[in-house]
Structure 1
Amino acid sequence: MIIPVLRKLLPEEIKEKYHHWQEYKYHQNLRKTPGNTYKRFDETRSIFIHIPKAGGISIIKSLYGDQAEGIGHRTYKHFKWIFGEENYNDYFKFTFVRNPFDRLLSAYSFLKKGGMNAMDKEFGETTLKPYDTFEKFVMQWLTPENADSWVHFIPQYKYLYDENKNLMVNFVGRFENFNEDYEKIRHKIGTGEKLKHLNKSKDKKGENYRDIYTPQMIEKVVSVYKQDLKLFDYSF
């Protein structure tokens, strides 16, 4: 009972450092837990950076085993901190990206339907509630500031590039070339099984994002995700 009281008396900067240390110790323990994704990273000398709505759950379960759990949507900096700079530089680091136009529509639909956890559900029921159509969402809500405010809409390059625009992973797979790029990774790190397609979107079958966008919506998305479009060579 004493410790919680003392914590309230600590200056904010000390509390922040304490929580930072707690998180570090937590993830170090995960690296020692059999079957855990972080331990599998060490065992395979690989690190996967999970960008939202780009097939990450399928990658984790197929490559690292059914026991492997989601790792959250972390930037390269997190893994550099947890595994150390030497390991981070030595390990094979990879990710998957997705066409920003397609990814944005998928994220909106996913959150509108409740997402995967309580925070997703709350975001869908509060922030997205006024936007009953994807067009309204894009034209009225989507700005660089708003995109940065929620994990599913953060530009993909921010997970992978440093401040000097250096790419901090060894391989960037594409959602549009999912199976082939997955096999390249599986061959590289020497583990995993045939790709399982998990957590698939329940959007209308056959729906194509190109049929959804108006010229004005396209212009808006380009203004917000111009770096993703440029760095990953995507277009509408």
Structure 2
Amino acid sequence: MIGVSVLPGLTQITTELGWRVSPGRMIDRAHPRADPQLEDVYLRRGLILIHIPKNAGTSVEGALFGYRVRHRTWREISAMCPRAWRRLPKIAILRDPIDRFLSAFDYLKTGGRNETDRRFSARLIGSQTIDAFIDRLSTSRTFRNTTMRYFHFCPQVDYVCDSKTVMVDTLIPFPDMARGLSEFTGVDPGLLTHSNKTSGPRTLKSDLTQSRIDQLLTFYSADADLYAQVCKEWPATPQRRAHRESGVAGQ
């Protein structure tokens, strides 16, 4: 039998090269793998959570399931967990898209959660200021398309909408998360500890000029429309959002 030796650091070098040469492919590889236990987790709890990144989902999934359901779109969950999808109510937390974008930027710039976040940040954010980052998103379609494929920057409508149809029964506005989860799931608000918190200084919406906000809204217009609609109609009954047609999402 012929032994095969692996050069020390080869995996790290290959990973660094991949992020430099083909960040889009590395983003695809970072997508969560199929989880054969996920459907049972949902069925035991009697509820499906669409965990949208940077919307306090880590705290929520811990309080609801004691399990990492990870970031999956409604399409992925319906395909992976068909019985649970047919039977169970579905909820998601929706956040102001500018606040969410800034949270993602700060979180990734300070290293994120894991090596994948760190590599993404090193390759696509680096030492850029928030203004420079927004400008690059505006001026480079390739950069924008690659960046917005990474789950922290993916539009929220990609997680909860099929074109103009909201596929989630209940959307809870981020500011009313504790009250909404208590109302719809019975979760004690005291269990919602702040997990996955960004370290260091935070960029606030008030730190941006209106022109910067307008630039971001061109990328997240559907998110902004859906969030405004949800806030206007909140509070709501769980039945209200059952596969209902939305006039704003996806436009």
Pairwise TM-score range, normalised by the shorter structure? 0.7 to 0.9
The Cα offsets for residues 167-195 of structure 1, whole Å up to 9 and x where unpaired, read as 111111122112111212322xx899732
**Residues in 1 aligned to 2:61 and 2:167: alpha-carbon distance in whole angstroms:** 20
Provide, for residues 109-157 of structure 1, a one-character-per-residue CA deviation record: whole Å limited to 9, x for no partner: 10011111111000111111151x1111112235652443211111101
Normalising to structure 2: TM-score of the pair?
0.70
**Separation of aligned partners in 2, 1:119 and 1:208:** 22
Q: Give TM-score, length-normalised by structure 1.
A: 0.74
One-letter amino acid of the structure 1 residue matched with residue 42 of structure 2: F
Equivalence for 1:83: 81
Rounded to whole Å, the distance in 1 between the matches of 2:100 and 2:189 is: 26
Alignment of 1:191-206 (within 5 A): 194-204=191-201
Contact 1:182 1:195 in 2 (8 A): no
Q: How does 1:66-145 map to 2 (within 5 A)?
A: 68=67, 70-84=68-82, 86-129=83-126, 131=128, 133-142=129-138, 145=145
Aligned to 1:210: 205
Counterpart of 1:155 in structure 2 is 155
SS in 2 for 1:105: helix
Distance 1:147 1:156, change over 3 A: farther
Q: Which amino acid aligns with 2:154?
A: I
Q: Distance in 2 between matches of 1:101 and 1:88?
A: 30
SS state at 1:223 partner: helix
Unmatched 5+ stretches in structure 1: 1-22, 32-37
Q: Closer, same or farther in 2 for the Cα pair 1:208/1:116, shift >3 Å?
A: closer
Q: What is the percent sequence identity of the aligned residues?
A: 25
Question: What is the Cα-based RMSD across aligned positions, in Å?
Answer: 2.5
